[in-house]
A and B are shown apart, each in its own frame.
Chain A
Amino acid sequence: QVAISNETRELLLAAVSEDSSVTQIFHAVGALSGFGLPLASQEALSALTARLSKEENVLATIQALETASYLSQQADLSSIVEEIEDLVARLDDLGGVYLQFEEGIETTALFVAAAYKLSDHVGTEPAIKEDQVIQLMNAIFSKKNFETLSEAFSVARAAGALSQNRFHLPVIVVPDGPAAVSHHQPVLRLQVTNVMSQLLTQVSVKLDQAKSVSSKATVLQQLPFTLSGDFFELNFMSVKPASGYYDFSISVDGDKRFIANKVELKVKVSTEVGIINVDLSTVDKDQSIAPKTTRVAYPAKAKGSFTADSHQNFALSFQLIDVNSGAELIPHQTFVRLHNQKTGQEVVFVAEPDSKNVYKFELDTSERKTEFDSASGTYTLYLIIGDATLENPILWNVADVVITFPEEDAPSTVQSKNLFVPKPEIQHLFREPEKRPPTVVSNTFTALVLSPLLLLLILWFKIGANISNFSFSPSTIVFHMGHAAMLGLMYVYWTQLNMFQTLKYLAILGGITFLAGNRMLAQKAVKR
């Protein structure tokens, strides 16, 4: 027996106040309720409501829901119950498949557990719609491995809440093995469980309708499944369906609380294929000789060999039927494979059905020589038949065909197309340098361009330009030095500096030159 001291009781009661966080109130109320100690529900409720308006996050609201489920029903818990609807509005819809809080799966699972616990306590159906419950389940049960124990705990609580509450019971329908029937296995078996994978057998399972996917015709309607042991069974082959896929709409009833109880299931009906009326013939191109036809029965091989060369084409025709029903079949894969016995080459063609569902294949050597690389020789002919709904795919060595291509096209040796040998090396072509004139020409031009300078000096001499008026005042000297320095700076700029450095030096030199020049020119003007 656990004895609770008075101090502990006082501590817990004191914690139930506006000054504690929602988590503290939740733990205190839970402890008091667990110990069976008296608790003033109305005061706890008002503390909780006051506290909740200050802490607006999702986790606090979920804990408030849990706390309220401990409080007496005499208190008006409707304000807390309304929080369920607000929380549902805060869920994120991911692609129409998942519904979860942005805080993650753990928070979503805790919400589900808390919402159903409170709803059971108060007796009001939670404000969560059926497809929302399905989407919540998709999100919560999407993982099979959990990183933290708390995450696993929350998922387990949610599963427990969804399998035992007063309002919503999701139903899971699981086929036994793949959902496929055939002549050997004509019965479709289903298991019906709740979220905790516990079998529900006190229910009725009904096939609302079964529609063929290809023809959209309804094959069955309103048929109940029979309970046999743990499984619900239906003998689908009794209506002799054609092979293919069918959409089953199944509904599970038995309890008003059932949700997600209308299920769509894709069922495959398989069968066995038979090949009949197999005719091999050589057809003369000129049509002068009547075609020679040989009939072969599966799985025997045709005796003798057939020829295909420049005068004759080889032709193959056959029909495919469903062995059990006799109906004609069009499987997905109907291939004719020709395998060169000497070189190992193989060429595969598709046999196509005509309007009467008779498969035809014709080999014309002149049309098909590229596929064969013009390699003449004896080829073994195989017929390959396959489909997802066939239980007996077929690989049948039908006959030998001697194919002769015109001589001039035959390659000397047939090389197998090996993709993984080194390819020829690519030589990189570097960018060609621009065409330049020979050095002689450019040197000549340089001399030529400097000749006008010579002319200028001669002309100046003739005119009589001189520097006789040159006064050696300091500003004049400074001006000319500064100007010369600026010209020198231009040269240095060309060879070494960048624009910013040049501008810096130019500013200094230019300033000096300007001031000196100003003085010099002013003196000149005065003299004039």
Chain B
Amino acid sequence: RFLSEYGGGTAGRLKALDAFLLYVLLTGALQFGYCLGVGTFPFNSFLSGFISAVGSFILGVCLRIQINPQNKGEFQGISPERAFADFLFANTILHLVVINFVG
């Protein structure tokens, strides 16, 4: 029932974003599982990759909340374009730090 409601009620853009979020989640989980299995060497690389996944997931969720037309009332001054631009900017900074740390 949830799936049918989701398929019908959600805009295409949001579904594309959701797919992206699922991808990031899986990638992060796989990284974590690998670390548990094989060991933490090199620790900085693991941290960098994991934080990249987690950070991207969080930024994606923020974007989704801001784009969703059902939430328009709460984000009066921020257009979807502006939200997207913010998403890109924050991602740039996040990945700058991640690349610095990956070693």
Binding site for B on A (CB under 8 A): 434-437, 441-442, 445, 448-449, 452-453, 455-456, 459-460, 463-465, 483, 486, 490, 493-494, 499, 502, 506, 510, 514, 517-518, 521-522, 524-525
Q: Does B57 contact A (CB under 8 A)?
A: no
Residues of B close to A449: CB separation below 8 A: 27, 30-31, 34
By a CB distance below 8 angstroms, the chain A residues around B31 are: 449
Indicate if the CB atoms of A494 and B99 lie closer than 8 Å.
yes
- Establish whether residues A518 and B96, one from each chain, have CB atoms under 8 Å apart when the complex forms: no
Given contacts A435-B39, A460-B19, contact A486 B92 (CB under 8 A): yes
Contacts of A510 in B (CB 8 A): 92
| B contact set with A: CB distance below 8 Å | 12, 15-16, 19-20, 22-23, 26-27, 30-31, 34, 38-39, 41-42, 79, 81-82, 84-85, 88-89, 92, 95-96, 99-100, 102
Query: Would you mind naming 24 contact pairs between A and B with Cβ atoms under 8 Å apart?
Result: A437-B38, A448-B30, A449-B30, A449-B31, A452-B22, A456-B20, A456-B23, A460-B19, A463-B19, A464-B12, A483-B88, A490-B99, A493-B100, A494-B99, A506-B92, A506-B96, A510-B92, A514-B85, A514-B89, A517-B85, A521-B82, A521-B84, A521-B85, A522-B81
A434 to B95, CA, bound (A): 28
- 9 closest A-B pairs (Cβ-Cβ)? A521-B81, A456-B23, A459-B19, A452-B26, A465-B16, A437-B38, A434-B41, A463-B15, A452-B23
B38 close to A455 (CB less than 8 A): no
Which chain B residues lie closer than 8 Å to A490 at the CB level?
Answer: 95-96, 99
Task: Contacts A502-B96, A517-B85 given; indicate if A453 touches B38 (C-beta within 8 A).
Answer: no
The verdict on A465 contacting B12 (CB below 8 Å), with A435-B39, A456-B20, A521-B84 known, is yes
Which of these, A445, A452, A453, A459, contacts B34 with CB under 8 Å? A445
Give the residue among B20, B27, B84, B92 with the most A Cβ atoms within 10 A: B92
> B81, A524: Cβ atoms under 8 Å?
yes
Residues in A whose Cβ lies below 8 Å from that of B16: 460, 463, 465
Starting from the known contacts A449-B30, A493-B99, A514-B89, 18 additional A-B residue pairs (CB-CB under 8 Å) come to A434-B41, A436-B41, A437-B39, A449-B34, A453-B27, A455-B23, A456-B19, A456-B22, A459-B19, A460-B16, A463-B12, A464-B12, A465-B12, A490-B96, A514-B85, A521-B82, A521-B84, A525-B81
